[in-house]
A = this chain, B = another copy of it.
Amino acid sequence: MTDLGAFLESARARIDDALDRAVPPLGTPPPLLHEAMRYAALAPGKRLRGAVVLATCDLLAGETDAAAALAGAIEMVHAASLILDDLPSMDNATLRRGRPALHHAFGEANAILTSVALLNLAFETIARAEAFRPAVRVEMGGRLARAVGADGLVGGQVADLAATGTRLGLEGLEYVHSHKTGALFLAAAEIGALAAGGKDRDLRALLGYAKNLGLAFQITDDLLDYSGSPETTGKDAGMDRDKTTFVDLCGIDGARRLVDELIDTSVSALQPFGRRRARLVALAELVRVRDR
């Protein structure tokens, strides 16, 4: 196994462990809610956003043991966003992570409320992460709130839904996905860096890395959605039929060229970090070839 493969494997295990400890056990009242929270948060996943937290923390020589809880919080937010994306009033998906989407398993109202519960648990987890100074925790919470809200995931999702059935240009599509996907990658990188005592200049450099990585990741998602099947992606195929995708706008080769450009830009933003950047570079290279 490559160094990156071993890192991702160990990150996933540590994040799953953090999620298992943070989400209250089955049976906690109300039982249905906690069953749904665990179903959504502990569903098998790559935990890539959480791995970004651990990798950026390690980049700045931070203590990744304490950062695992923060990585778990980022993954709670990601799980919460997937629940909403899948709702009947949004993508109306049936499958997620190889299992019935949450509203199919628990009903629509419970799905919405589970999403909100996971989001709150993420904020609570950060607020209670006592290994970090209060000033650091408050900065993490503020950045996470911004990444999720109207200028982040939610804004991207509203714009995405508004554009469904219409034809977006490249600029519009980049708006949607830099918010819908990029913002949480960015928050993950920032939170990992803050956990390691990162300064403003570190966060600025990581902005270039994470934003471009997040967008490249979304484009490879489009490429996978175009060519993939539920067996390989764990979600419904062809969900993007009514939506403009990067593949629609640029073709397969053009979308791959765009991924190449974004990954190149992403990697070059890491220059200031010297040799410690190797793992984040390898992660970006992995995203580059996800669909190939």
Residues on A lying within 8 angstroms of B by beta carbon are 24, 28-30, 32-34, 37, 84, 87, 89-90, 107-110, 112-113, 115-117, 119-121, 123-124, 126-128, 133-135, 137-139, 141-142, 144-146, 148-150, 152, 154-155, 157-159, 161-162, 175
Q: Are B124 and A145 in contact (CB under 8 A)?
A: yes
Contacting residues, chain B, for A124 (C-beta < 8 A): 142, 145-146, 149
Q: Are B157 and A113 in contact (CB under 8 A)?
A: yes
Contacting residues, chain B, for A117 (C-beta < 8 A): 149-150, 154-155
Q: Are A120 and B149 in contact (CB under 8 A)?
A: yes
Q: Are B110 and A161 in contact (CB under 8 A)?
A: yes
Q: Are B158 and A32 in contact (CB under 8 A)?
A: yes
Tell which of B87, B120, B138, B146 touches A134, judged by Cβ atoms closer than 8 Å. Answer: B138
Could you say how many copies of this chain the assembly holds? Answer: 2
| Given contact pairs A113-B84, A127-B142, A142-B128, A155 touches B119 in the complex (Cβ within 8 A) | no
Tell which of B34, B126, B137, B148 touches A120, judged by Cβ atoms closer than 8 Å. Answer: B148
Q: Are B33 and A116 in contact (CB under 8 A)?
A: no
Of the candidates A87, A113, A128, the one having the most CB atoms from chain B within 10 angstroms of its own CB is: A113
What are 18 A-B contacts defined by CB distance under 8 Å? A24-B150, A84-B112, A84-B116, A87-B109, A89-B108, A89-B109, A89-B112, A110-B158, A112-B112, A115-B116, A120-B145, A124-B146, A126-B141, A127-B138, A128-B142, A133-B134, A134-B135, A137-B138
Q: Distance in Å from the Cβ of A42 to the closest Cβ of chain B?
A: 15
Chain B, Cβ-Cβ closest to A150: B117
Q: Distance in Å from the Cβ of A177 to the closest Cβ of chain B?
A: 14
Contacting residues, chain B, for A127 (C-beta < 8 A): 138-139, 141-142, 145
| Given contact pairs A30-B158, A155-B30, A107 touches B123 in the complex (Cβ within 8 A) | no
Q: Are B30 and A162 in contact (CB under 8 A)?
A: yes
